Amino acid sequence: MTTARRRVRARGLPRNPVTGLRYRANEVIRFAILPIAAGLAGWVGVTAAAAPGTTPTVPCADRIAVTRFPYRESGYRVVLGVISAPPAYLPQDVVATHRRPWTYWLKQGLVVRANGMTVTVSVPARWRARAAITWGNNTGIVSSLRIAGCGSDQHAGNAYAGGFFLRARSGCVPLIFRVGTRSAIVRFGIGRRCA
């Protein structure tokens, strides 16, 4: 197939509502069949971002897997005894989204202990013009989100797909994790090492 024909074919493919990148043809088929099985919920693929001033909640149904907890693979670190967060240094290449204001994206999962405790993840106010986050299926690009407490197994963790959006190709991004009355600031070196 010629490059021109591929471009014409790609133009007809829908865009991912979070990254803005076009889906590949096999992803369109997979994403078209999945909602039918789920009762046509969210079939159009529109991102259900929270209204301004509200914090969206990621429901239990958005978990992509259940794993053991604590999850420490590939340098993941335990935060507040409830979250397994990505490593301090994330050397992977970010993906250009070709959309403003969030021109770069880095996919990183998050694991939350399946003990029924709600977790809030936020970008500090002074960083909100430089970084944003998303975890779950329809959270959208946000500065703060809440992950619903799911399950009652202290040794299991719920994994969520998502990651970081940036205006620059790299950064030392802080996130605030809250569980109950406890909180911790955790830094992520995206594309560079941070002090």
Q: Which letter does DSSP use for residue 142 in this model? A: B
The pLDDT of residue 92: 86
The pLDDT of residue 26: 43
User: Could you read off the pLDDT of 57-77 as tens digits, one per residue?
Assistant: 999 999 999 999 999 999 999
Q: What is the pTM of this model?
A: 0.74
Tokens of 153: 């197994």
CA distance linking residue 191 with residue 187, whole number of Å? 13
The CATH architecture of the domain made up of 57-190 is: Sandwich (2.60)
* Better-predicted residue by pLDDT, 50 or 117: 117
User: Could you read off the pLDDT of 26-58 as tens digits, one per residue?
Assistant: 444 333 333 333 332 332 233 344 455 689 999
- DSSP letter for each residue of 7-25: HHHHHTSPBPTTT-PBPPH
The pLDDT of residue 127: 97
Q: Name the nearest CA neighbour of 44 among 17, 12, 11.
A: 17
From the CB of residue 49, how many other CB atoms can be counted at a distance below 10 Å? 16
Which residues belong to CATH 2.60.40 in the chain? 57-190
